[in-house]
Amino acid sequence: MKTSLSIFTIALMLGILFSPLRAQSNKKVIRNEAVTDFSSIRLQAVGDIFFTQSDDYSLRVEGPEEYVKKVTVTVKDGKLVLSYKQKNNDSKKLKYYISAPDLSRVDVEGVGSFRCEKKLKLKNLELNMTGVGSINIADLECKTLRARLEGVGKVNVHVNCVNLIANADGVGHMTLSGYAKTTKITKDGIGGVNTRNLETGE
């Protein structure tokens, strides 16, 4: 009886001892990162990107401290790359708030999403969904939009453009709405392309 009581007491004390450490590792933090000029975003990590068009370049990472501190940020040749120091991670709660004046390309290669809920006015935009997740753009105006889905997930874009080129070659679904003067849409994978609310032609 005493032995069982002692084991219980030790387990209880260890739980009390390490609970502050667990709480500290799960503490939500904000990391503001200084970034140079970029017009392309590449997500190789896990998490959700929230993009806003702005005159300034900015990046803010939010989430549990143990994950935020392991995010690697690099800018090279105009490309902002978000990656993670460990290949296998569970950093699903990470959020990246990004702003820039222009955007020409988005690559989602990790597990996560890219979202832009406000007006986005660009020259040309290329979207590549090769990871697991989604790309959602609520109001895009551009000359040419290229969208490619090769991963597992969804691509939803409401666009007003001259040229629209889209290819769904993965496991997922693409929804394109709005207006495009000319379109070239192909589907090779499992899934579909919904253009029910897309007007085309002159």
Q: Quick check: helix, strand or coil at residue 12?
A: helix
- Concatenating the DSSP letter of every residue in 72-114 gives EEEEETTEEEEEESSSS---TT-EEEEEES---EEEE-SEEEE
Answer whether residue 140 shows pLDDT above 50: yes
Q: Would you state the structure tokens that stand for residue 75, as one six-digit string?
A: 């800018």
- For residue 9, the model assigns a pLDDT of 45
Confidence of residue 13 (pLDDT cuts 50, 70, 90): very low
Taken as a whole, the chain contains a residue count of 202
pLDDT of residue 50: 99
What is the average pLDDT across 54-62? 98
Alpha-carbon dihedral 20, 21, 23, 27, rounded to 10 degrees: 130
The structure's pTM equals 0.85
**Domain segments of the chain as ranges:** 28-103, 104-202
pLDDT band at 56 (very low <50, low <70, confident <90, very high): very high
Tokens linked to 114: 């890219």
* 109 close to 129: Cβ distance less than 8 angstroms: no
Assign 110 a pLDDT band (cuts: 50, 70, 90). confident
CB 75 within 8 A of CB 36: yes
> If 0-12 CB within 10 Å is exposed, 13-18 middle and 19+ buried, where does residue 134 land?
buried
Residue 132, pLDDT above cutoff 90: yes
pLDDT of residue 17: 45
**Is residue 181 within 8 Å of 202, Cβ to Cβ?**
yes
Could you give the CA distance from residue 40 to residue 171 in angstroms, rounded to a whole number?
A: 25
Region of residue 47 (phi > 0: left; psi between -120 and 50: alpha; otherwise: beta): left
pLDDT score at 87:
62
| DSSP-derived secondary structure letter, 44 | -
The C-alpha atoms of residue 23 and residue 74 are separated, in whole angstroms, by 29
Mean pLDDT over the full length of the chain: 88
Strand-pair partners of 159: 140, 178
